[in-house]
Amino acid sequence: MKTFTNENITIIRKLLTFIMIICFISCGSNTEKSEQSPPPIPEITEEVTGETTDETTDKILDEEQIVTQVPLKRNDYIVILSVDSIININETGMLHTWIGLPNAKIEFPEGQVQDKTSIPSTIGQYAKIKPIAPDFEISGYTPGKCHKIHSSGSEVRFSIKPKSEGTYSVSADIELYDNSKCEGTPVPKTAKTLSVSVKINKEKEFSNKVTELKNIVWDKFILFWGALIALIFSTIIFLIRRKIKKKTGFEEKE
C-alpha cells in the first residue's frame, strides 16, 4: 500500500481549503442576491395596486355619469292614441288618449288599435287635449279643459258615434303648458292619425228592424182590438137597452 507523504497531505489540505472558500463565496453571493431581491416586490405591488384603484375609481365615476344621464333620455312623454278598430253603425265607440313616461304600464281594451309618438317632458306637465274626428259625434270633450300629466300616466276618454258607414280617420291635438291653468303660449303636438272602420252589423240591424216592426204591429194590434172591443161592447149595450125598452113600453109612455 502506498503511504501519504507530508507533501501530499499539504496539497490535499490546500485543495480542501480552496473548495471550502469557493463554497463560502457562492453561498454569500446567493444570500446577498436573496436579500437584495425582496425590496423591488413591494414597489411592483404598489404600482399595480395604484393603477387598479385609479381604474376602479374611473369606472365608478363613469357609472355615476351614466346613471345621471339615462333618466334625461327617458324623460320624454309617450303619447298613445287608442280607438276601437270597428264600430257598428248606431253604436258608440271609445277614443283613448294616454300621456305618461315610457316605464308606466297601460292596458287598453281588446279590439282597439294604437299608435304612439313622443314629446319632451321639459315643455310642461299640463295639457289640453282635443279629439279630431269630424265623421263622428263626440261626447265627453270639454273645450279648454286643462289636464295634469302624471308620471304614472294620464288618460282622457272620449265617446265617438259614427254618422255613417265607411272608413274614417281620427287623431288628437295636444297643447302642452307649464302651468296648471294652461295659460300662455302652448306648444302644440298632434298625435298620429288612426283609421277606424265603421261597419253595419247586418244581423243586429235586421234584429233591430224586426223588433221595431213587432213594436209597431203590437201597438196597432192593441189599438185595433181596443177599438173593436169598444165597438162590440157599445153594440151589446145598445141592443140590451132597446130590448128593455120594448118590454117595458118605456117609449110609449114617453
240 and 170 assigned to the same domain = no
Q: Are strands 136-139 and 166-177 parallel, antiparallel or unpaired?
A: unpaired
Picking from 74, 91, 125, the residue at the C-terminal end of a domain is 74
Whole-angstrom distance, CA of residue 83 vs CA of residue 115: 9
Assess if residue 35 is contained within a domain.
Answer: no
* Arithmetic mean of pLDDT, 55-63: 42
Does residue 147 lie in a domain region?
A: yes
Q: What is the mean pLDDT of the chain?
A: 73
Q: What is the predicted pLDDT for the residue at 71?
A: 38
Residue 126's nearest CA partner among 59, 178, 57 is 178
Range of the domain at 49: 40-74
Are 63 and 130 part of one and the same domain?
no
Give the containing element (helix H, strand E) for 43.
helix 40-74
**Do 233 and 183 share a structural domain?**
no
Residue 50 is predicted with a pLDDT of 43
Burial of 15 (0-12, 13-18, 19+ CB in 10 A): exposed
Residues 102 and 146 in one domain: yes
3-state DSSP assignment of residue 64: helix
Rounded Cα gap, residues 98 and 152, in angstroms? 10
pLDDT band at 17, cuts 50/70/90?
confident
Q: How confident is the model at residue 89 (pLDDT cuts 50, 70, 90)?
A: confident
Output the pLDDT for position 199: 66
Please check whether residues 87 and 177 belong to one and the same domain.
yes
Domain membership of residue 137 (yes or no) is yes
Say whether 252 sits in a helix, a strand or coil.
helix
Q: Is residue 9 part of a domain?
A: no
Say which residue the cell 192593441 belongs to: 222
Contact (CB, 8 A) for 160 and 95: yes
Q: Total structural domains in the chain?
A: 3
Q: Distance (Å, rounded) from C-alpha 167 to C-alpha 200? A: 12
| Residue 238, all three cell numbers | 145598445
**Does residue 63 share a domain with residue 125?**
no
Q: Give tens-digit pLDDT for 136-191.
A: 999 999 998 999 988 788 899 999 998 888 888 888 888 888 888 898 888 777 66
Asked whether residue 211 falls in the same domain as residue 100, the answer is no
For the ranges 69-78, 90-99, 182-191, 195-204, the lowest mean pLDDT is seen at 69-78
Q: Are 117 and 102 in contact (CB under 8 A)?
A: no
C-alpha angle 81-86-88 in degrees, rounded to nearest 5: 130
Q: Answer yes or no: are the C-beta atoms of 175 and 125 closer than 8 Å.
A: no
Whether residue 85 sits in one domain with residue 121: yes
Question: Cα(97)–Cα(100) distance, rounded to whole angstroms?
Answer: 10
* Main-chain dihedrals φ then ψ at residue 159, nearest 5 degrees: -95, 135
Between 235 and 31, the more confident residue is 235
pTM for the model: 0.50
* Phi, then psi, of 103 in degrees rounded to 5: -80, -5
Q: How many CA atoms lie within 13 A of 154 on its CB side?
A: 14
Under DSSP, the state recorded for 76 is P
Same domain, 234 and 138: no
Which string of DSSP letters, residue by residue, matches 191-223? Answer: PPPEEEEEE--HHHHHHHHHHHHHHHHHHHHHH
Same domain for 80 and 192? Answer: yes
> Does residue 174 sit within a domain?
yes
239 DSSP 8-state letter: H
201 — pLDDT class (breaks 50, 70, 90) = low
Question: If pLDDT is split at 50, 70 and 90, which confidence band does 102 have?
Answer: confident
